[in-house]
Amino acid sequence: MRSLFAAALFAACSFNTSGVGGGATDAAIDAPPLDAAPDGGAPTSCAQIHADSPDAGSGLFLIDPGVTSGAPPIMTFCDMATSGGGWTLVQRTVWDFGKSSALLTNYSTFYGQTIGSPTPGEAFRVAARHWPILNIGREHLLIHYARALDGTDCQPLFYIASGGSWAVSPAGPATISGVTQTVPFFDSNQISTTDFGPAQSCVNQFSEVPWAYGSCCKTCPTYGETTYFMPARPAATYLDRPDLNGRVVADRCGSSSALHIAQYYGESAIEYYVR
């Protein structure tokens, strides 16, 4: 039965299914059905939505990962198509550093505040306090949208890692270990922010949005350095390695070529999902 809660929520929302960062495969993104949120309140994660409503399409959903702590529900994007679906978007950075720079924060903000908009094409991050419950299945997904030399957006590449779950404390650190990575999702087991972590100098010097950096980055939610990108852009070093579908960046940019400066591929967006 469709809940009054869900009907009121989704009737008030519009769904942007165009542009970069949709989190789905090449098919068009579907708006979620009105009965995606069960009676009694929002589900805890996209994985729960998928389990309860297997036919729900990718799109914006209200979830309540902080149900036990009294934190308010949050809107995020659910990828219901990739590798079985049920993925919750926890961070997206985009080409426009004016948007991504809102995520360049200290640890306290990283821990406690959800920032930005989950709408495709916008920078977004779920407060890290929620990451452990959202990552209860110990799986990780990076979706990379390389940028072509002609300024268009390449089709996405999908990389999955397993094992390791987040442990996030109010005053730090935020750590993850034991991840089986096909590409370097994380260069460290600890998040670095503007004021905390093993590579905070990289965050501050190169405008790197908080991430698990060992010594700067191979996966770079943003990276700004005069030799590479100014202002800071999403970038990664490994998009020439086969993704989940056996594709590499050369397969995904149509008649153009990917923007590639030294070892870094510039990107229109990087999305990080967990389930």
The pLDDT, as a whole number, for residue 184 is 96
Q: Which band of pLDDT confidence, cut at 50, 70 and 90, is reported for residue 66?
A: confident
Report the domain count for the chain.
1
Instruction: Identify which of 90, 59, 19, 6 has the alpha carbon closest to the alpha carbon of residue 272.
Output: 90
Question: How close are the terminal C-alpha atoms of the chain, in Å?
Answer: 26
For 192, the domain range is 4-274
Q: Which band of pLDDT confidence, cut at 50, 70 and 90, is reported for residue 40?
A: low
- Average pLDDT for the chain: 88
Q: What is the dihedral of CA 57, 122, 89, 46, to 10 degrees?
A: -40
Residue type, 218: K
The pLDDT, as a whole number, for residue 70 is 74
The burial of 115, by beta-carbon neighbours within 10 Å (0-12 exposed, 13-18 middle, 19 or more buried), is given as middle
The pLDDT, as a whole number, for residue 106 is 98
CATH of the domain at 220: 3.90.215.10
What residue ranges in 172-215 does DSSP mark as E strands?
A: 174-175
Q: Which band of pLDDT confidence, cut at 50, 70 and 90, is reported for residue 215?
A: confident
Helix (H, G, I), strand (E, B) or coil at 112: helix
Q: What is the pLDDT of residues 145-192, one digit of tens each?
A: 999 999 999 999 999 999 999 999 999 999 999 999 999 999 999 999
Specify the length of the chain in residues: 275
The pLDDT, as a whole number, for residue 68 is 65
Taking 90 as the threshold, does the pLDDT of residue 69 lie above it? no
The CB density around residue 14, as the number of other CB atoms within 10 Å, is 9
Q: What is the pTM of this model?
A: 0.87
* CA-angle at 89, arms to 84 and 94, nearest 5°: 125
Q: What is the dihedral of CA 271, 27, 152, 89, to 10 degrees?
A: -10
Could you tell me the two tokens for 125?
């991050």
127 φ/ψ sector (left φ>0, alpha ψ -120 to 50, else beta): beta
Instruction: Identify which of 193, 148, 185, 146 has the alpha carbon closest to the alpha carbon of residue 163.
Output: 185
C-alpha–C-alpha distance, residues 141 and 183, integer Å: 11
Could you tell me the two tokens for 97?
């550093």
Q: Which band of pLDDT confidence, cut at 50, 70 and 90, is reported for residue 14?
A: very low
